Amino acid sequence: MKGMSIKIARLAVLLACGAVALAGCGKKSDQPAASKGQVVARVGEEVVTIQDLENEFRWANVTPDKQKEPETVKGVLGQLVVRKYLLRQAMAAKLDREPGVLLDLLRSREQILENAYLQRTAAAKAPGKADIDRYIANNPTKFAGRKLLSVEQIAFPIGPSTQSFVEANKNAKSLDEIDEKLTAAGIPHGRQMGALNSGDLPPEFYGLIEAKKADDVFFVRSGQNGLFFKVKGQEPRPLEGEAAANLARQLMRADAVKAELGIAAYSANLEAKYEGEYAKIMQPGDSKKN
């Protein structure tokens, strides 16, 4: 507990210094920024700059052509103003001095820096044209052989109570059977037609679908929902040219980030020295033994 208190105290000093520095910078640059048209809104003493707005567009993945649309700007800027307002309320309530909040701030800082490092390291190993062409050729279901599957599906929210239902019904023979059992179990669900892109499915799973029998029912997770579905038809939707190259770059970048994370995990475990009971818990191998 003493060590934790010291850690929190140090973090409080660090964040306080950062806040003072940011506040000082804000006061010094506020007037010049306004004269240059950089300030787009004020919420009490909080200033919203064009840089803040552009950063929100980046986080929301708003494309440049959409960033001038009044409705888009209104939505994004409105949310930003609300956040600035709530920041003022939180600071006035001195929530930034509470131990739990301080630890959450530290965690957010670590996560942002972790992601920035992984993204930069992966970007430094950007693939060449030959690498992209090879990736496209090795993943036909995502590109030249991509298909759009029309499916009849039953969707329901996934949670602790529904996980056992999925396990018990993974070999169901029909959607009618699934529908009846979900209703009997009191699980909210919806049945409708939908579509799946072969490029979004794991190759092994898509292989099972390709080898399907007429009455086969499949299950897949989609975000927070589970889907039992039956394939009704499919049509070719090849992705070629620059569109294929752009998607390949995105997917290869994601793979590179995962690879860098794996390297980091290995290196971190080599350097880590666990203390007390955690040394036994974190030892390599099956922790359930003994």
Residue type, 260: E
DSSP E strands, 109-167? 147-157
Is the pLDDT confidence value at 234 over 80?
yes
Give the global pTM.
0.69
Segment 221-242 shows an average pLDDT of 92
Give the pairing type, strands 218-222 and 46-49.
unpaired
Q: Given pLDDT bands bounded at 50, 70 and 90, which one contains residue 26? A: very low
Work out whether the CA dihedral 33, 34, 36, 41 comes out positive or negative. positive
Structure tokens at 197: 């892109």
Which residues, other chains included, contact 41 with Cβ-Cβ below 8 Å and sequence gap of 6+? 47, 48, 77, 80, 81, 84
| String of DSSP letters for 215-258 | T--EEEEETTEEEEEEEEEEEE----HHHHHHHHHHHHHHHHHH
Whole-number pLDDT of residue 286 = 55
List, as own/partner pairs, every contact residues 242-245 make where C-beta atoms lie below 8 angstroms and the sequence separation is at least 24, other chains included.
244/136, 244/143, 244/144, 245/132, 245/136
**pLDDT (tens digit, 9 = 90+) per residue, 74-113?**
999 999 999 999 999 999 999 999 999 999 999 999 999 9
Whole-number pLDDT of residue 29 = 41
Percent of the chain scoring above 70 in pLDDT: 85
Whole-number pLDDT of residue 230 = 93
Distance CA 238, CA 190 (A): 30
